[in-house]
Amino acid sequence: MALRIIFMGTPEFSVPTLTALAEAGHEIIAVYSQPPRPAGRRGLDLTKSPVHQAAERLEIPVLTPTNFKAEEDRAAFAAHGADVAVVVAYGLLLPEAILNGTRLGCYNGHASLLPRWRGAAPIQRAIMAGDAETGMMVMKMEKGLDTGPVALTRRLAITTEITAGELHDALSLAGAEAMVEAMSKLEAGSLPLVPQSEDGVLYAAKIDKGETRIDFRRAAGAVHNHIRGLSPFPGAWFEAEIHGKPERIKVLASRLADTPYPAGTAPGTVLDGALTIACADGAIQLLKLQKAGGKPLDAIEFLRGTPIASGTVIASPPDAKAAS
């Protein structure tokens, strides 16, 4: 017998799980998503979230409360008579009335190996920290931030070249498979719940704009992780003088380089005509770049229209400190 499920999610990351649960034969009785947001150049058009649009294609009713403070929204949630709620990147803090508003509780698909990287940006933080592994965990939600017991885990390797965008897509698919398996076990009464360890807790704070600028005074490996952890969005960037004026340039791909350079070379120095940059320890080659308002280009093509000569020194963030 299929479960009666309320699905709660907002971005594209959540869509595969919604689709997979419906294809597995569960009854998705309602979808909750964040309200339509202004979009377009002038911000005049309201755009429905990817989950909202997917639910409409599946002919599932969609609700978009701004929060659950109103008693009528809490009552409407309970009135669905759902067996369980499935939450994947919904983006709203759920009060206890919602966490306890279904027969079997709320289960969250979270993109990290809990308790490491609880919070808002686990994919980016795992790459930026140089982690070798991450995963998707199905967790029964409780009042704390990502503190609930874990029911099921899918592990994925973080290769040395993978970007946050690529890992995002892989985890999205892995999460869909994991949630379908978890709901099948929950339906059968055989879903295990293992409390999280109190050791190794780390919080994945939301990415702040102030930390996106590249600091070549860091070690090359740290710079490489920074770039790929922020690619494609919001994007790590540096500033260079192009045709006599400063321009912000986003870096979407890089690799560690073994280009030798003299001792005492300033970090941020362009070492050759292929955009190899000296760092505090080693060097990094920039492979894909994008100017403001432009499209992403491979380095060779980028340099045709945006010359950055060997010997140029790219400035570090004015308020940054050298880091390892």
DSSP letters spanning 149-171: PEEEEEEEE--SS--HHHHHHHH
Which has the closest alpha carbon to 133: 154, 157, 152, 110?
A: 157
DSSP letters spanning 10-63: -SGGGHHHHHHHHHTT-EEEEEE-PPPEEESTTS-EEE--HHHHHHHHTT--EE
**114 annotated binding-site participant:** yes
**112 annotated binding-site participant:** yes
CB atoms within 10 A of CB 148: 24
Query: CB of 121 within 8 A of CB of 207?
Result: yes
- State whether residue 245 is helix, strand or coil: strand
Which has the closest alpha carbon to 109: 2, 11, 234?
A: 11
Structure tokens at 134: 């991450």
**113 annotated binding-site participant:** yes
| Binding-site residues for (6S)-5,6,7,8-tetrahydrofolate | 112-115
| Binding-site residues | 112-115
